[in-house]
Amino acid sequence: MPDVIDDYGEQQPISNLLICEPEPLRAPLPKAAPYPVEALGDVLGSAATALHETIKAPLTLCCQSVLASASLAAQTHFDVMLPWGESKPLSLFLLTVAESGERKSGVDDVVLGAAKAQERQDMESYAIELKLYEAELAQWKEVADAANKAAAKAAKSQAASDYAAEAKHSCPKKPEPPIMPLRFVTEPTVEGLYKLMAVSQPSLGLFSDEAGLLIGGHALNSDNALKTMARWCKMWDGAAFDRVRAGDGSGVLYGRRLAMHQLAQPDVMAQLLSDRMANGQGLLARCLVAWPESTIGSRHIELFEQPRERREVKRLFAKLKALTEAEPRTGKSEQELDPLELPLNEEAQRTAIEAMNQFETLMQSGNDLSELRDRASKALENACRIAGVLTAIEDGMTARVIDVNRLNRALVIIQWYLKETLRIKGAAVIPQSVTDAESLSRWLDGRGCRIFRTAAVLTQGPSHLRNKKRLDAAIGELVTNGYLVENEPGIVIDNVVTKKSWSVQHVV
């Protein structure tokens, strides 16, 4: 076959210049099923619908936000007694995938606005209390030092027991520091979270409408990801927060609670959803994940409406405010929660047994949930937690038992989450070679490269592609799917006669 001269003046076989339509590197994301908003009930569901109608954000995103805020309010006061006898927090971990411009911040600002305003007000009061405490502590230290000096002097002429008693009685009680009223954190490390929970109120929300701060931050980098995820799992389970360090001491924190809602763009959240450690270690099995379809381009309005003025949103605020301001049950200290247990009634327990058996059947090889065994194994527990949250929101502080109606609604919701996980599994769990291939294609396109050899990428390309093994795998993906074509040996690039080189046929 004769050769031809390409746009760069290089001789190319005609076969290398034939352009075929490439194959997609990723499977397209199937259409999402509507979120079962009715199952959230008249308080949460109606508020989510009102937010959707006024802010025009995806309804699923609104449902995620109201459920997360409800979990944060409920976890302070109630645990759920699971059918098999274990008591677990009402803490929920939610992850929401949404494009930039989907009004994630707009929804969160409304749903969490009242709680964050209260937090700011409380932090202002805390600053005043802290100054008073520091003054009292300084005064106490002066008195304590004087008492110790007097006791030491008296010890020369008195028995040891007498001087010890004198020191004890002459020194006033050390003042107690005020409790920090912080409710929300965005990107804490394990060490930072422990230090905060040692001085703050015991119920926190790990909430952010920019989850890239957390996913790309210090807490989830290669050195810290495993211990961070393991600690979050322990917090979800309701375990004590223990920490043993030689440098800054050791301790155990009991009765702490952590709810989570992280929202991020697809590329950012896909890093977490496809992370081997997050999947294998069990974090994602505990999470309720949603990837709403975009509403951008269809958000036409007839008038501007304030979501906070909607009756449904005001009612939700009233419910959340009542739970937030109610005095929690505590254990040996004000920072050790002792939540009231909400058991399932008899009918709900029978339904739970049926649901457990159905989930077990669906996990058998070849059945619908066989590829989601980690998620399905925690499905009933998550359903019971959701049912507990619905009970706490709808009954308030008078809640005492979870009835079958609320469990049935929670089971409808958890089945939706399982279907949603199956739907996004192919699109979210992306092999590293594919993401590297996309990165390589973008880099080549940005530089205007239509023909290249590996040396340029290994020395000037993206840092993660300056690894020969990863670069070869990325090139392999692009060749296999028709984005690159390998050239015949002998092509001259940058004054070098190449043994291997590639021509760019398409850009990802």
Characterize the bridge pairing of strands 93-97 and 257-264.
Answer: parallel
Of the candidates 276, 290, 275, 273, the one whose C-alpha atom is nearest the C-alpha of residue 92 is: 290
The one-letter code for the residue type at 73 is: A
pLDDT for the residue 169: 58
pLDDT score recorded for residue 303 = 86
For 112, the token pair is 């969490």
Is residue 378 scored above 50 in pLDDT?
yes
pLDDT in tens, 153-183: 766 565 555 555 555 555 778 899 999 999 9
Say whether pLDDT at 4 is over 50: no
Q: Per-residue confidence at 404, pLDDT binned at 50, 70, 90?
A: very high
Which of 23-27, 64-68, 121-125 reaches the highest mean pLDDT? 64-68
Look over the chain and give the mean of its residue pLDDT values, rounded to a whole number.
Answer: 90
Report the pLDDT value the prediction gives residue 431, as an integer from 0 to 100: 79
Q: What is the residue whose two structure tokens read 């769990």?
A: 429
Rounded CA-CA distance 75/69 in Å is 10
pLDDT over 70 at 8, yes or no: no
Task: Name, in order, each residue with C-beta under 8 angstroms of 12's C-beta and a sequence gap of 6 or more.
Answer: 3, 4, 5, 6, 487, 491, 503
What is the residue-wise DSSP string for 266-318?
HHHHHHHHT-HHHHHHTHHHHEEEE-PPP-TT----SS---GGGSHHHHHHHH
- Considering only residues 281 and 44, tell me which one the structure prediction assigns the higher pLDDT: 44
Considering only residues 274 and 406, tell me which one the structure prediction assigns the higher pLDDT. 406
Q: Residue 164 — φ and ψ, nearest 5°?
A: -65, -40
DSSP state of 254: -
Nearest alpha carbon to residue 278 among 340, 337, 215: 215
In the prediction, which pLDDT does 160 show?
Answer: 52
- pLDDT of 491: 92
Average pLDDT over residues 305-324: 95
Tokens found for residue 315:
């009612």
Task: Specify the pLDDT at position 301.
Answer: 86
What pLDDT digit, counting tens, does each position of 411-428 carry?
999 999 999 999 988 666
Do 125 and 117 form a contact (C-beta atoms < 8 A)? no
What percent of the chain stands above pLDDT 70?
91
Please answer whether residues 190 and 196 qualify as being in contact, where contact means their C-beta atoms are separated by less than 8 angstroms: no
Least trusted range by pLDDT, from 143-147, 150-154, 273-277, 348-352: 150-154
Predicted confidence band of residue 459 (pLDDT cuts 50, 70, 90)? very high
Secondary structure, 3-state, 350-411? HHHHHHHHHHHHHCCCCCCCHHHHHHHHCHHHHHHHHHHHHHHHHHHHHCCCECHHHHHHHH
- pTM, two decimals, is 0.84
Q: What angle do CA 64, 68, 71 make, to 5 degrees?
A: 140
Binning pLDDT at 50, 70 and 90, where does residue 14 land? very low
Q: Determine the length of the chain.
A: 508
